Amino acid sequence: MPTDKDWTGNAHSTFSMLGASNHSEYVREEHDYYATEPAAVDSLLKQTPIAIDTKITKIWEPACGAGNLSEEMKKLGYDVLSTDMYDHGYGETGEQYDFLYAKELPEGVNAIITNPPYKYAYEFCEKCVELGVDTFAMLLKTTFLEGKKRRKFYDKYPPKYVCVFTNRISCARNNDFEQFKVNSAACYSWFIWEKGFTGRPQIIWITKEDN
């Protein structure tokens, strides 16, 4: 995905995707689906400045899985569009919803919030910039701060906030928290970008809220 273009908004553009399977250059394996506990997004929207910095009109969750994050955002009163390339029983699904081939923002969307497939997290970030969304937040391992390639991206598009969880976020393979809950030693953070921000990122510590 190109990163040499200016980040310009397009909040009123229509939802247009390319969906043919022969256009896809990546494959998201079914066994790479790890659902996120809803408390993660609850903490994001209650404990970080994202709700203040951006007057959110509509959130797009483009890797919605079984809807864990989407449903929690709806409970908090947000208008949420939920899509996924794969059908996990929730949202609008199919190859036409391959986020990496989105051409425009869905109408009314000015924020993207998701836990992207980690293998393609960098490409998800690039796509958000390319689409010109006002704000996007990605739940990522804190080690996502590392890497020469990502450093170049950060130099041009620094996150405004890196919100580090002081306790662990749980993920579960195929959304089965009973059998496949992952109590990872990895620390997760919300990385929040705001269109036009060029300053130094601010570190914020947040705590997972029990629901």
Contact at 8 Å (CB) between 105 and 133? yes
What CATH number does domain 21-206 carry, 3.40.50.150, 3.40.50.970, 2.20.25.240, 1.10.150.650?
3.40.50.150
Segment 186-205 shows an average pLDDT of 94
State which amino acid sits at residue 188. Answer: Y
CA 91 to mean position of chain CA atoms: 15
* Alpha carbon separation from 60 to 115, 168, 180 (Å, rounded): 12, 25, 27
DSSP code at position 61: E
Is 106:15 a contact under the CB 8 Å cutoff? yes
Coil vs helix vs strand at 203: strand
pLDDT for 180: 45
Average pLDDT, stretch 24-45? Answer: 65
Give residue 6's pLDDT: 54
**Distance, CA of 99 to CA of 11 (rounded, Å):** 17
Q: What is the pTM (predicted TM-score) of this model? A: 0.82
pLDDT at 186: 73
* Angle between the N-to-C axes of helices 68-75 and 39-47, in degrees from 0 to 180, rounded to the nearest 10: 40
How far apart CA 26 and CA 108 sit, in angstroms, is 28
Q: Where are the domains of the chain?
A: 21-206
Q: Answer yes or no: is pLDDT of 59 > 70.
A: yes
The stretch 180-207 carries a mean pLDDT of 85
What are the tens digits of pLDDT across the range 140-183? 999 999 999 999 999 999 999 999 998 877 654 544 445 444 45
What is residue 149's predicted lDDT score, i.e. its pLDDT? 93
List helix spans (H) across the chain.
Answer: 39-47, 50-53, 68-75, 121-131, 148-156
Residue 53 pLDDT more than 70? yes
